[in-house]
Amino acid sequence: MRAILDLVSPAATLVEALEPIRSDPAHAAVLLDIDGTLAPIVRHAADAHVPEATRTLLIEIAKRYRVVGCVSGRRASTARQIVAIGTIAYVGNHGAELLRPGSTRPEVDEELAAWTARVREFAARIYTAEHQRLRVRSEDKDSIAAFHWRGAPDEELAADAVREIARRAEEEGLAVHWGRKVLEVRPPVLLDKGLGIAALLHGGPVKAAVYVGDDTTDLDAFRGLRTLVEAGELETAVCVAVSSDEAPPDLAREADVTVDGPAGVRGLLEALL
């Protein structure tokens, strides 16, 4: 009996947690991170893709729920290319961009856009042949510059080189943010996924929202949703952590429920249907 309960309880807990979302889809939002959540983490970020089984479920979710959106550290247009569903919203660059369903141009935070040239100049100047030799990869995200070292021949040595980039960025008045084997150099302006979600949901008929994520930046989404509840703009927020060996400990602590990797996310989408 114990073994049977151990198998049943997690699924039962998930369905129970999702009940405020499932019970009124016309007034509910389903919001998901992409990398490590919908798409498995891969060695090179450009190779990321959403498995077709997951994408098929997300299409059905989009037909049923009032708001469906992907909230990513990538540019909104890149996020849409990876997910390949044009009828949902995309919050890109950790809240800096909002690409609404069917739109061709994202709405961009003006204060952030003003820093784009300076961030790009820094990235071009700081990234050298030595970084290339260490297999540190740079990524231009418009107003954000990212430096990845996942899969480098010597990840520790590559990480040391990236930490030096972070030190130089801070010396020059830029902000830095660490993710799963990636450094982002950002403008020194308030920027996070929670603010992007607030912009997406502002003024809409949504009463309940679920957010699913796997990394440090997803904590901002959790906190952003709970702030909307405290402000009376939402009645219910459900925060779901996606577990992995690299997930920050605070993620599970702050979540209402946890699922196991992208496969667990597929189970969550099935539960929503």
Q: What is the pLDDT of residues 191-240, one digit of tens each?
A: 899 999 999 999 889 999 999 999 999 999 999 999 999 999 999 999 99
Residues of each domain in the chain carrying CATH 3.30.70: 111-186
Would you say residue 108 has pLDDT above 90? Answer: no
Cα pseudo-dihedral 211, 215, 221, 225, rounded to 10: 50
pLDDT at residue number 1:
32
Could you tell me the two tokens for 72? 């990513």
pLDDT at residue number 3:
37
pLDDT at residue number 27:
97
pLDDT at residue number 26:
97
pLDDT at residue number 18:
95
pLDDT at residue number 7:
36
Q: Which residues pair with 238 in a beta bridge?
A: 210
Q: What is the pLDDT of residues 229-254, one digit of tens each?
A: 999 999 999 999 999 888 889 999 99
Q: How many CA atoms lie within 13 A of 12 on its CB side?
A: 6
CATH (one of 3.30.70, 1.10.3470, 3.60.40, 3.40.50) for 111-186? 3.30.70
pLDDT at residue number 141:
84
Q: What confidence category does residue 11 fall into, taking pLDDT thresholds of 50, 70 and 90?
A: low
In degrees and rounded to multiples of 5, residue 167 shows phi and psi of: -60, -45
Q: Mean pLDDT score of the chain, rounded to an integer?
A: 91
Could you tell me the two tokens for 67? 């708001």
Would you say residue 5 has pLDDT above 70? Answer: no
Report the DSSP pairing between strands 182-186 and 145-148.
antiparallel
Q: What confidence category does residue 133 fall into, taking pLDDT thresholds of 50, 70 and 90?
A: very high
Q: Which residues contact 126 (CB under 8 A, 6 or more apart)?
A: 165, 168, 169
**144 against 53, higher pLDDT:** 53
Choice among 39-48, 87-96, 122-131 with the minimum mean pLDDT: 39-48
Cα pseudo-dihedral 91, 95, 98, 101, rounded to 10: 20
Residues of each domain in the chain carrying CATH 3.40.50.1000: 2-109+191-272
Pick from 26, 37, 16: which is nearest to 256 by CA? 16
Say which CATH topology domain 2-109+191-272 has.
Rossmann fold (3.40.50)
CB 256 within 8 A of CB 221: no
pLDDT at residue number 111:
82
